[in-house]
Amino acid sequence: MPAGAPSLLRLTLCVTAVLAGGLLLAWTSAPAQTRPAAAAVSIELSGTIDPATANWVEGALEQAEEEQRPLAIVRLDTPGGLDSSMRQIVRAIGATEIPVVVHVFPDGARAASAGLFVTLAADVAAMAPQTNIGSATPISLDGGETDEVLGRKIRNDAVAYARALAEAHERNADLAERMVRAAVNVTATTARERGLIELVAGSEAQLLERLDGLRIAGPKARALDTADLRVERRDMPLGYEIQQFLVNPNIAYLLLLGGLLGIVLELLSPGLIGPGLFGAIAFVLGLYGTAQLPVTAAGIILLVLAVGLIVAETQVPSFGVLGIAGIAALVAGGLLLFDTDSEAFSISVPLVATSGVLLGGFTLFAASKAVAARSRPPRSGTDDLVGATATVRTALDPEGQVYVQGALWRARLADGGPAEHDGPLKPGSRVRVAAVDGLTLLVHPEHQESP
């Protein structure tokens, strides 16, 4: 190796190190706008709080944590929902390690009933200017007060839960309690002034701006750095929207009812295929929706009894007594089937009454017709021709063709040859079918009385 080679090698290494260091320094000191900004996820939570929305929010928060997102925003607009689904969302918010902001958004949105608890569970509670929050008093299925003792227990449990969430995040627990006990509802501005929420922001860009430097309380206490964050929206996928549609008590009841009645029609008149097929599909979808909701034993028993009474009406001559009782059981079963204790999840009385009467009455009518048809003695197609009047198309001498019931048939005179009728029966003559011999009709002239 030449003598100057080590010096040259050292020089090359030094130049390379200087260039690499310069590139690294230039990249790390580059303006923030030249590098991709980190993204906070914005998760949609609209409509009722139910098993579908709870699973969606829980999964979206878990995904955000796996992606190491700096912040998660839940865009909330709800009339309320199920207590069990609300608690699932609250647990998901508490379980994730990243800060979660619940933003009641957009203008016109609300955080009512179960939405209050979701908002209180957030690390930061924010609202758009023209929104409201509150009205979280538990109610019974029919909208009235629950049983005195049970109702007191439910309200006290809800009050304790609201106060615990508010106190954990240093919010106004007294106002939260009044929202549960007295159904108090306030605007965004009032909620901010009275310490129930931290921020009022009309857009997500404004929200991020006001979050920057805010120190949050609670288990995830820290100062937020949102200056360079952008927002990545995640709306509820179609699959969850379909699930949300199916767990609606009114939809679940209609599917369950239609499925039961379709299957009954198929059993009463085998071979129709259509009622049984669509009935089975509707019944399975109805079962899925019903399985996600709290149901009562009384409601299930009444629905089964209703189907039994309608079937019995088609078999026993009760002059409609069993059928009317079955329709009444359908309506009563629908009203008592679900026990959601939520105004947002209450079943519609007019819908249940109307659908019960219409579907029950139609099924009763169709089933009676099907049973009547099955009770008639079987007849072949050719038996219907006996006694029918036919028109001669080609002369009967003694055989020819006649036209009867929309078809052309081969025919033969049944009571002798042409001699007995003063010659062949000419086209246009009227004959009556006396019998069927294979594919040949045996006919005799239709004698008309003289005027």
pLDDT digits (tens, 9 = 90+) for 175-186: 999 999 999 999
Rounded mean pLDDT of 373-395? 73
Residue 144 corresponds to which amino acid?
G
pLDDT at 99 (0 to 100) = 96
| pLDDT beyond 60 at 108 | yes
Q: What is the average pLDDT value for the chain, to the nearest integer?
A: 82
pLDDT band of 37, cuts 50, 70, 90: low
Q: Which residues does 246 contact at the CB level (< 8 Å), separation at least 6? A: 52, 252, 255, 285, 288, 289, 292
Tell me the three state secondary structure of residue 285. Answer: helix
Fold: same for 35-241 and 382-445: no
Q: Tell me the sheet residues that pair with 124.
A: 101
pLDDT at 377 (0 to 100) = 58
Q: What whole-number distance in Å separates Cα of residue 15 and Cα of residue 203?
A: 51
Rounded mean pLDDT of 342-352? 79
Each residue's pLDDT tens digit, 12-25? 445 455 455 554 44
Q: Could you tell me the pTM of the whole model?
A: 0.70
pLDDT at 137 (0 to 100) = 86
Residue 128 corresponds to which amino acid?
A
Minimum mean pLDDT range among 7-16, 40-49, 108-117, 284-293: 7-16
pLDDT band of 386, cuts 50, 70, 90: confident
Rounded mean pLDDT of 328-346? 80
Tell me the three state secondary structure of residue 15. Answer: helix
Rounded mean pLDDT of 370-390? 67
pLDDT at 170 (0 to 100) = 93
Q: What whole-number distance in Å separates Cα of residue 218 and Cα of residue 222?
A: 9
Of 405 and 12, which is predicted with more confidence?
Answer: 405
Minimum mean pLDDT range among 45-49, 175-179, 365-369: 365-369
Tell me the three state secondary structure of residue 146. Answer: coil
User: Which fold would CATH assign to domain 35-241?
Assistant: 2-enoyl-CoA Hydratase; Chain A, domain 1 (3.90.226)
| CATH classification (class only), 382-445 | mainly beta
Asked whether 48 and 290 are in contact (CB, 8 A), the reply is no
> Which contacts qualify for 225-230: CB closer than 8 Å, 24 or more apart?
225/70, 226/40, 226/70, 226/71, 228/32, 228/37, 228/38, 229/37, 229/38, 229/39, 229/40, 229/70, 229/71, 230/37, 230/38, 230/39, 230/40
pLDDT at 142 (0 to 100) = 40
pLDDT at 5 (0 to 100) = 47
The domain ranges of the chain are 35-241, 247-375, 382-445
Each residue's pLDDT tens digit, 238-279? 999 999 999 998 999 889 888 887 887 777 666 677 888 998
Instruction: Report the chain's terminal Cα–Cα distance, integer Å.
Output: 143
Report the relative pairing of strands 399-404 and 230-234 from DSSP bridges. unpaired
User: What stretches of 179-321 adopt beta strand conformation (E)?
Assistant: 185-187, 199-200, 215-216, 222-223, 230-234
| pLDDT beyond 70 at 235 | yes
